[in-house]
Amino acid sequence: MKVLFIHNNYASNNSGEEHAAEGLAKLLEDNGHTVEWYRRSSAEIANSTIGKLKAFFTGIWNPNAIRGVKQKIDEFQPDVVQIQNLYPLISPAVLLAVKSKGIPIIMRCPNYRLFCPTGLHLDGNGNICEQCLTSGRELNCIKKNCENNIPKSIGYAVRNYTARTIWGISEQADKYIVQTKFQKEKFIKNGIPEDKMAIIPGLPPDIPDQKVALGEKVIFVGRVSPEKGVLDFLEAARNLPDIRFEIAGSIDESLSYIEANLPKNVTWVGFLNKQDLNNLYREARIVVVPSKWYEGFPNVITRAMKFGKPVITTNLGAMASIIDHKENGLLVEPGNQNELKKAIKYLYENPSLCQKYGKNGYKKSVSIYSVNSIYKELIKTYTSVI
C-alpha cells in the first residue's frame, strides 16, 4: 500500500503531532508499505511579521500548496492520503485537490480543530468552552478572544469558518481518526457520521519489559501550563510536605515564575531526554495527570501504564476514557485541589494498591494500546476507504 502523509509541522518541528505522524509512518514502513510526505513547517514563518501576515491567507487558501499536493499525487500515485495538520501553510483547500484526483482521504484528528478554532475547547482564561458549537460559531472565538490576542483570534476564527463552510473540512474526508471513545462521541454529536469514524489510540512508547519497583516519587510530566493542572499539582504537594514530588517538562511563559517559588518538597527537572524520562518513571510511585481540558490522547498516561505505575487523573475527556477508576488509577474532579491531595495521600500510603493498579494498567496497555493492535486498526481503516 502507498500512503501519502500531508502535514504542516509546528514551528518546533518536535511537537507531539510530529512524533505521532512520524510514528505511524514508520509503523507502516516497518510492515512493508511505502510512505511519502507533502510537508511544510511553521518554522518557515517563525519570527517573521510578514510571514505571519502571509500565514493568515495561506491558512485559508494556498495555491502553491494545492499545486504541490497535486504534483506529489501524480508522481507518487498513492492509494490513500492521510492528513493531520493543515495550518497555516497548507490550508484545507487541498482537500478538494486530493478529491479531484480520486484518492480517498483519511484525516487524523488529535485535537478538536474541526469545530474549535484553537483546537482545544478552551477559552483565553483556560476554562473549557464549547461556544463555537452554538449560535455565532467562530465569532465566539473573537468575542472571547480565545487566543488572548485579537488579531490571532480573528485569524483562527476566519480560517475555521472558511474550512467549515467553503472547503467542507468536516465532510470531505472518507474517514476521521480519533483517539478515544470520548472524542468519537464529541465528533458524532457535532455532525460527523458514525460510519466515518475510527478510534485509533496514540502509539505506545517503546519500553522494554522490566521488573517494576514501587518508587518513592509522585511525578508530573508534560508541558507545565495552566490547562495541564500543574498549579493544582503544586498545591497538593504543598499540603503533603512529607512526600517527594517532581515535575518534568518545559514551562509555559505564563508560569515562568513557579520555578522560583516551588514548595520545598518539589523538584523541577525540566525537559528530559528519553533515557532520563524513563528513569523518572521507574522512580515514581504515582503519576499524576491533573489536566483541566479534554486532551486528545495524553501519552504520559500510557507511558505510566507501560511502566506499571498507577495514574491519578481527572474524570474528564480522554483521561476518563483511558483510566478506569479504582482499576488502574483514580479519577478526581478537575480543579478540585483538595480531592487531588486526598487521592495522592490515599494511594501513596497504600503501596499494595499502587502495585495492583499498576499491574492492571500494564495489562491494559499491552492489549488495547499495543503497536500490533494499532497497526491492525490503521490498516482496517485504510482498506475500508480504498
Q: Which domains does the chain have, with CATH numbers?
A: 2-114+169-203+371-384 (3.40.50.2000), 217-369 (3.40.50.2000)
Please tell me the least confidently modeled range out of 8-17, 22-31, 133-142, 229-238.
8-17
pLDDT computed for residue 225 by the predictor? 85
Write the single-letter amino acid at 234: L
For the chain, what is the mean pLDDT? 93
pLDDT at 248: 95
Question: Would you place residue 52 in the very low, low, confident or very high pLDDT band (cuts 50, 70, 90)?
Answer: confident
Exposure on the CB side of residue 174, measured as CA atoms within 13 A: 17
When pLDDT is averaged across residues 47-51 and rounded to a whole number, the result is: 82
Task: Tell me: pLDDT of 211 over 80.
Answer: no
The more confidently predicted of residues 206 and 159 is: 159
User: pTM value?
Assistant: 0.90
* pLDDT one-digit tens code per residue, 250-307: 887 777 788 888 999 999 999 899 899 999 999 999 999 999 999 989 999 999 999 9
Residue reference for cell 508522481:
75
Q: Residue 11 pLDDT > 90, yes or no?
A: no
pLDDT tier at 13, thresholds 50, 70, 90: confident
pLDDT of residue 82: 98
Q: Average the pLDDT over 147-166 and give the result.
A: 94
Stretch 342-350: mean pLDDT: 98
Phi-psi region of 102 (alpha: psi -120 to 50; beta: other; left: phi over 0): left
Give the whole-angstrom CA distance, residue 292 versus residue 230: 10
Tell me the per-residue pLDDT of 227-256, one tens digit each, with 9 for 90 and over.
899 999 999 999 999 999 999 988 877 777
Q: Is 90 exceeded by the pLDDT of residue 19?
A: no
pLDDT digits 0-9 by tens, 62-80: 999 999 999 999 999 999 9
Lowest mean pLDDT across 12-26, 130-144, 366-380: 12-26
How confident is the model over 319-334, as pLDDT tens digits? 999 999 999 999 999 9
Tell me what pLDDT residue 124 has: 84
